[in-house]
Amino acid sequence: MSAIPPASFFSHFAKIEDPRVERTQLHKLGDILFIAVCATLCGANAFTAMEEFGNSKMDWLKKFLELPNGIPSHDTFRNVFIAIKPEAFTECFLSWVKVLNLPIKNKIVAIDGKTSRASGSKTKGKKALHTVTAWATEANLVLGQVATEEKSNEITAIPKLLQMLELRGAIVTIDAMGCQKQIAAEIRARGAHYVLQVKGNQEHLEEDIMSAFAALDEANPEARVAQGLDVYETHERKHGRQEYRRCEALPVPTTLRNLAEWKDLTSICRVARIYDEHGESKSEVRYFISDLSAGAKRLAQAVRGHWGVENGLHWVLDMAFDDDRNRTEAGDAPANLATLRRWVLSLLRQDKSRKGGIESKRMQMGWNETYLEAILGLD
């Protein structure tokens, strides 16, 4: 029997080279990774829980694995995750995403970073892991990721991430950290469109955009129409909360300084949001640039899609997977665990056979081996 069912999702693991010396290979690498992913799907968030899952599911695991030396210990799981090269582990994930062959044209891909705060150690001089992720908002799927040691490194991590992905026709959204001329150029080189948030990190850019909209605020309605202003508004009421959004899009003014340095820059937009939070009314205004035409509805949808990455990805990683509280620090284990959690979350998001949230699905998989097999493509 092969260590990994060749026709299954886990055939992608075959690309990983075993980092261990031969005398320490008491357990097959495929077995270790197979158990780790199954355990994480069923609610395990730590190496000790992976071992406990393996011992409790020994009979079921033997349907697929030989397990010549039984279940690996939690130290074995830990040592393997420390030693595996993160690039190789990420490549396994990317090969699975490519097999899905998701339509990407006109779809929103949000690129955003998240820090796993407990993965660092001040006493050991180790910085917390910061992961930059590409999130397909409508598919609820992680397309790829790059790990760094600091949030400030996002500027160099984003181009690497873009080069890993097939993005032709997609709309890539990034917050103000990624509003860089070279990043806009790389997105266009990949055949994608960009919607980038603007703040004061680019000289004169925010100032000039704010001035353009301020001038329109003072203009009469006819002048606003003549300058190509387009407006899209939404009003929502959910769970007792109200939210109003107004997106104003405008063809890029020729007076914008350094305009030629921004690849294919075509439009600017202003998004105002008024909402209730804990009974208190709050508001915010954000500015964006894009190579798309000045269509307010399309730009508003892109901006809204990017904000969704917080609830669809980051919040779930913290609440369901204890990402912010996991104290794994050694070697490449934090980066590999980050990949594993995003991989599992993507699998769970793709499953439409069960109702309920991520935690509910993980519990059901722990109880129902048939459900687990179906998710893994083993049925």
Residue pLDDT, tens place only, 107-132: 999 999 888 766 655 666 667 788 89
146-175: per-residue pLDDT in tens? 888 666 678 889 999 999 899 999 999 999
Rg (CA), the chain: 23
- Other Cβ atoms less than 10 A from the Cβ of 202: the count is 19
Beta strands in the chain (DSSP E): 108-116, 129-136, 141-148, 171-174, 193-198, 230-238, 241-251, 267-277, 280-290
- Other Cβ atoms less than 10 A from the Cβ of 329: the count is 16
Is pLDDT above 60 for 1? no
DSSP-derived 3-state class of residue 274: strand
Tokens describing residue 294: 């000045």
23-40: per-residue pLDDT in tens? 888 999 989 999 999 999
197 DSSP β-pair partners: 288
Q: Does 97-320 carry CATH code 3.90.350?
A: yes
What long-range pairs does 82-85 form, CB within 8 A, spacing at least 24? Answer: 82/330, 82/331, 82/332, 82/333, 83/19, 83/20, 83/331, 83/332, 84/16, 84/19, 84/332, 84/336, 85/17, 85/19, 85/332
53-100: per-residue pLDDT in tens? 999 999 999 999 989 899 999 999 999 999 999 888 888 888 888 777
Tokens describing residue 10: 């886990």
Q: What's the pLDDT at 327? A: 62
Q: What's the pLDDT at 122? A: 62
Tell me the CA distances in angstroms from 216 to 59, 161, 225, one per residue in order: 70, 38, 10
DSSP-derived 3-state class of residue 174: strand
* Runs of H (alpha helix) within 15-110: 29-41, 47-56, 58-61, 74-83, 86-100
Q: What's the pLDDT at 332? A: 85
Residue ranges matching CATH 3.90.350 in the chain: 97-320
129-141: per-residue pLDDT in tens? 888 999 998 888 8
What is the spatial distance between Cα 379 and Cα 374, in angstroms, rounded to a whole number? Answer: 5
Class of residue 158 by CB neighbours under 10 A (exposed 0-12, middle 13-18, buried 19+): buried
Taking residues 255-273, what's their average pLDDT?
95
Taking residues 244-253, what's their average pLDDT?
95
Q: What is the largest CA-CA distance in the chain?
A: 80
What is the spatial distance between Cα 13 and Cα 135, in angstroms, rounded to a whole number? Answer: 22
286-313: per-residue pLDDT in tens? 999 999 999 999 999 999 988 878 777 8
What is the spatial distance between Cα 241 and Cα 365, in angstroms, rounded to a whole number? Answer: 34
The mean of the pLDDT values for the chain is 87
Q: What is the pTM of this model?
A: 0.84
> Would the CA dihedral through 210, 109, 36, 52 be positive or negative?
positive
The amino acid that residue 361 corresponds to is K
- When mean pLDDT is compared over 216-230, 240-254, 259-273, 329-343, the highest value belongs to 259-273
Q: Give the residue among 187, 140, 132, 143 at the shortest CA–CA distance from 162.
A: 187
Q: Which residue has the higher pLDDT, 107 or 276?
A: 107
Q: What's the pLDDT at 379? A: 66
In the chain the first and final C-alpha atoms are separated, in Å, by 17
What is the spatial distance between Cα 170 and Cα 155, in angstroms, rounded to a whole number? Answer: 20
Residues 146, 152, 153, 156: what is their CA dihedral angle, to the nearest 10 degrees? 100
Taking residues 275-286, what's their average pLDDT?
86
Contact criterion met (CB below 8 Å) for 51 and 77: yes
The amino acid that residue 362 corresponds to is R
